Amino acid sequence: MSGRLEGSWAALRRVPAAAWVCAAIAVANAACWATVTPPYWVPDEIAHFGYVQHLAETGEPPTPGPYQPSEEQAALAAGLGFAVEGRPPWRAAEGRALRRMVDGREIGRVDEGQAYAAASYPPLYYAYEALAYRVFHGASVDDRLYAMRLASALLAGLTVLFTFLFLRELIPRRPWAGTVGALAVAFQPLLGFLAGGVNNDGLILACAAALLFALARAFQRGLNLGLGAFIGAVLAIGLLTKPTILGLVPGTALALLLLVWRAPGERRPAALGTAAAALVTIVPFLAWQGIERALLDRESGPTGGVASSTVTQSAGQLTDLLSYLWQALLPRLPFMFDQFPYYAPWEIYFKGFIGRFGWFEFGFPEAWNVVGLAIFAVIVVLAALGARAHAPALRDRWPELLVYVALAGGVLLATEIAAYQYHLVAPGQYAEQTRYLLPLLGLYGAFIALAALGAGPRHGRAVGAFLVMLAMGHSIFSLLLTVARFYT
């Protein structure tokens, strides 16, 4: 046991200092978001807070059902005058009224319906947040919420730490490019915004980054028992957090198959690693499912939707589904029935990536999105140049690249299929949100690193530094946009 602990400690000490600095930057950035965004103005934060509160107060996850907030949840919402498109109180008198509503009196903290849309999620993220809740159990409800937000911000650090390590495995000969990619991820505004709120996406993003790191390492150094167990553990944590992780499962399965197939000489370690990954993934999940059904009389994901817990399984026609998927990601073809009132890749995914905040009801002015598109086009060209310059190395690593394509395709498909199911039960409504694609943030980091490499050996570092500064500016302007939305 102590040997394993020493091994873990040694592994931690091998993590480069730059990785820790990148992670610290991500945490500080997310903490800024946690402070700037008013309480409850993160998507579904009321429901996620309700889940944590129920778990922390009773020791049991809530049961899905109609929304019924706890007295304390409702008091905070009333004191804030919470409305999705509204603003928090500005006047000192309103602040004092809020304090009278939430301070110094015993008000109910538990109600079975307090987690509403979040109730069907598995409990792992909420158990983590419950630690912060319990540490500040005696504090006011808004103080507890803030503590939980800061705990969530730590997950942004974990996401960036694993992204850094993933990029080091991916581009081992140019470590500076890994730093550039990791910093671009650390400053991605949607990561800071989501991780700065109480939302189970935060843990999913950390899991996705860890999975990318483990797969890249396995392709670089070979799959073994330890790495297989790590991959399984990451998937198990994801499955016990939110079904979004399912989008990464097909790509991971493909990776394991390819790793066993191309294992040099003795295939036993790779096969053992695969078995370990499968076992460590499935056993905790099945155990939780058993506990839920036998002891708690409830059911959670992945029977619910991949993107949102409000999505239920619903059958549609295959051609309709294919048309929907096509139009969600590509331009509509003339013979297709118009599924979207707008061009979804631009309106939802691109503009969302540039930045939509609050309950995704405000973002940058259109001109800024157009400038963002122009910058993105330049980055695409640079990345293409980078790919061409490193074509032989990339060709040699085709199985690994195929896996990244499969991972990206899996996340896209899982998101869109869930969105289609939602669209069927709620016609005219669209469940797509950019945040569901954020498990691919590690690949975004790789894309930025590749763009820097595309500028060539002479200018690559300068372009990398320039891109990081732009990413930082993007983050600062996103924070200012949020300040403007809520306080001016």
Does residue 345 bind other proteins (CB under 8 A)? no
Per CB under 8 A, the list member of 4, 85, 297, 315 interacting with other proteins is 85
Cα distances (Å, whole numbers) of residue 292 to 132, 187, 300, 325: 24, 38, 8, 34
Q: Which residues pair with 357 in a beta bridge?
A: 362
Q: For other proteins, what does the binding mask look like between residues 205 and 244, x meaning CB under 8 A?
A: ----------------------------------------
Tell me which residue of 191, 152, 420 sits closest to 308, measured CA to CA: 420
Whole-number minimum distance, CB 146 to other proteins, in Å? 5
Per CB under 8 A, the list member of 32, 272, 279, 282 interacting with other proteins is 32
Does residue 342 bind other proteins (CB under 8 A)? no
Does residue 340 bind other proteins (CB under 8 A)? no
In the window 349-388, what residues touch other proteins (CB under 8 A)?
359-362
Does residue 105 bind other proteins (CB under 8 A)? no
Q: For other proteins, what does the binding mask look like between residues 134 and 153, x meaning CB under 8 A?
A: -----xx-xx--x-------
Q: Which residues pair with 362 in a beta bridge?
A: 357
Q: How far apart are alpha carbons 221 and 393 in whole angstroms?
A: 16
Does residue 479 bind other proteins (CB under 8 A)? yes
Per CB under 8 A, the list member of 8, 9, 58, 83 interacting with other proteins is 83
Per CB under 8 A, the list member of 71, 77, 94, 272 interacting with other proteins is 94
**162 is written with which tokens?**
């694993």
**DSSP H or E stretch at residue 473:** helix 456-487
Residue 367 burial (C-beta neighbours within 10 Å; 0-12, 13-18, 19+)? exposed
Distance of CA 335 to the CA centre of its chain: 36
Distance of CA 281 to the CA centre of its chain: 19
Q: Which segment (199-207, 319-327, 414-422, 466-474) binds other proteins by CB under 8 A?
A: 466-474
Q: For other proteins, what does the binding mask look like between residues 301 and 330, x meaning CB under 8 A?
A: ------------------------------
Q: For other proteins, what does the binding mask look like between residues 153 and 192, x meaning CB under 8 A?
A: ----------------------xx--x---x---------
User: How many alpha carbons lie under 13 Å from residue 223 in its C-beta half-sphere?
Assistant: 29
Minimum CB distance to other proteins smaller for 114 or for 179: 179
Q: Which segment (52-60, 122-130, 308-316, 469-477) binds other proteins by CB under 8 A?
A: 469-477
Q: What's at 53, amino acid-wise?
A: Q
Per CB under 8 A, the list member of 7, 11, 58, 99 interacting with other proteins is 99
Q: Which residues pair with 356 in a beta bridge?
A: 363
Q: Which residues pair with 363 in a beta bridge?
A: 356
Q: How far apart are alpha carbons 271 and 224 in whole angstroms?
A: 8
Q: How far apart are alpha carbons 62 and 116 in whole angstroms?
A: 9
# residues near other proteins by CB under 8 A: 69
The answer for residues whose C-beta is within 8 angstroms of residue 281's C-beta and 6 or more apart is 231, 232, 235, 236, 239
User: How many alpha carbons lie under 13 Å from residue 407 in its C-beta half-sphere?
Assistant: 25
Minimum CB distance to other proteins smaller for 144 or for 242: 144
Q: How far apart are alpha carbons 214 and 168 in whole angstroms?
A: 11
Q: How far apart are alpha carbons 105 and 115 in whole angstroms?
A: 23
Per CB under 8 A, the list member of 127, 271, 275, 472 interacting with other proteins is 472
The region, left, alpha or beta by phi > 0 then psi within -120 to 50, assigned to residue 19 is alpha
Q: How far apart are alpha carbons 451 and 32 in whole angstroms?
A: 28
Minimum CB distance to other proteins smaller for 326 or for 477: 477
Minimum CB distance to other proteins smaller for 143 or for 299: 143
Does residue 35 bind other proteins (CB under 8 A)? yes
Minimum CB distance to other proteins smaller for 168 or for 242: 168
Per CB under 8 A, the list member of 86, 172, 290, 409 interacting with other proteins is 86
Q: How far apart are alpha carbons 52 and 128 in whole angstroms?
A: 9
Minimum CB distance to other proteins smaller for 267 or for 461: 461
Per CB under 8 A, the list member of 52, 246, 467, 478 interacting with other proteins is 467
The answer for residues whose C-beta is within 8 angstroms of residue 423's C-beta and 6 or more apart is 324, 339, 429, 430, 431
| Cβ–Cβ < 8 Å for 248, 410 | yes
Whole-number minimum distance, CB 462 to other proteins, in Å? 3
Q: For other proteins, what does the binding mask look like between residues 389 and 428, x meaning CB under 8 A?
A: -------------------------------------x-x
Minimum CB distance to other proteins smaller for 373 or for 405: 373
Tell me which residue of 209, 254, 207 sits closest to 232, measured CA to CA: 207
**326 is written with which tokens?**
């096509």
Minimum CB distance to other proteins smaller for 185 or for 245: 185
Which stretches of the chain bind other proteins, using CB under 8 A?
Answer: 18, 21-22, 24-25, 28-29, 31-32, 35-36, 38-39, 79-81, 83-95, 98-99, 103, 139-140, 142-143, 146, 175-176, 179, 183, 359-362, 426, 428-429, 458-459, 461-470, 472-473, 476-477, 479-480, 483, 487-488
